């Protein structure tokens, strides 16, 4: 907590059994793709500005968010980094609540001295929940909103992992006896 504001941080590092070039190309497709459900304001080969709606189903309610996001890709020798910033705006009974998210995702070759080529994926995100003006539902507070956004974000990350796995398996097969750690 900094100056009375909660900040949520997340860091992860994963090694996957696919070679670097194939993995970085697959992640590029995921990070800069143009699915039908998104409203792309601008897309270039290394950046995208996106507006999209998220509907998250919980046990006894449905949460809706409007997300405004920008992502930029930076390429170096043997490393690709995606940096993003996103604002999430609660809809319906979550109206008045928002999050400000920043993050980066780095893709680099793993230790390729073994028979199995690998890639290291590192991700860091931070988001700050806050309220502006009057909120629509007095039963929802900033902590509850942050929890709902975090859970929907977990589902989004899991879905991206499944999509990455499908992209990689469609292009190449992992080495015999390896496990995909996504």
Q: Could you give the CA distance from residue 7 to residue 142 in angstroms, rounded to a whole number?
A: 12
Per-residue pLDDT of 138-171, as tens digits, reads: 666 677 777 777 777 777 777 777 777 777 777 4
Q: What is the per-residue pLDDT for 143?
A: 72
Pairing of the two strands 8-16 and 119-131: antiparallel
* pTM value > 0.75: yes
Whose tokens are 């699915």? That residue is: 35
Question: How many degrees, rounded to 5, is the angle at CA 167 between CA 172 and CA 66?
Answer: 165
Strand partners, 87: 68, 100
Indicate the pLDDT class of residue 137, thresholds 50, 70 and 90: low
CATH architecture, domain defined by 8-171:
2-Layer Sandwich (3.30)
Per-residue pLDDT of 9-60, as tens digits, reads: 889 998 888 888 888 888 888 887 754 455 556 667 788 888 888 888 877 7
């Amino acid at each position: 907590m900094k100056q009375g504001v909660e900040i949520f941080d997340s860091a992860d590092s994963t090694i996957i059994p696919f070679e670097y070039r194939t993995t970085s190309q697959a992640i590029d497709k995921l990070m800069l793709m143009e699915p039908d459900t998104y409203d792309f304001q601008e897309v270039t080969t290394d950046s995208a500005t996106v507006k999209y709606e998220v509907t998250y189903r919980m046990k006894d309610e449905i949460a809706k968010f409007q997300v405004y996001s920008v992502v930029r890709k930076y390429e170096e020798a043997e490393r690709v980094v995606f940096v993003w910033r996103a604002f999430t705006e609660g809809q319906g009974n979550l109206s008045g609540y928002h999050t400000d998210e920043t993050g980066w995702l780095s893709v680099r070759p793993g230790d390729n001295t073994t028979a199995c080529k690998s890639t290291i994926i590192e991700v860091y995100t931070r988001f700050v929940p806050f309220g502006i003006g009057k909120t629509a539902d007095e039963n929802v507070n900033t902590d509850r909103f942050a929890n709902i956004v975090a859970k929907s974000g977990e589902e989004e990350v899991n879905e991206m992992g499944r999509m990455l796995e499908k992209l990689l398996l469609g292009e190449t097969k992992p080495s015999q006896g390896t496990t995909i750690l996504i």
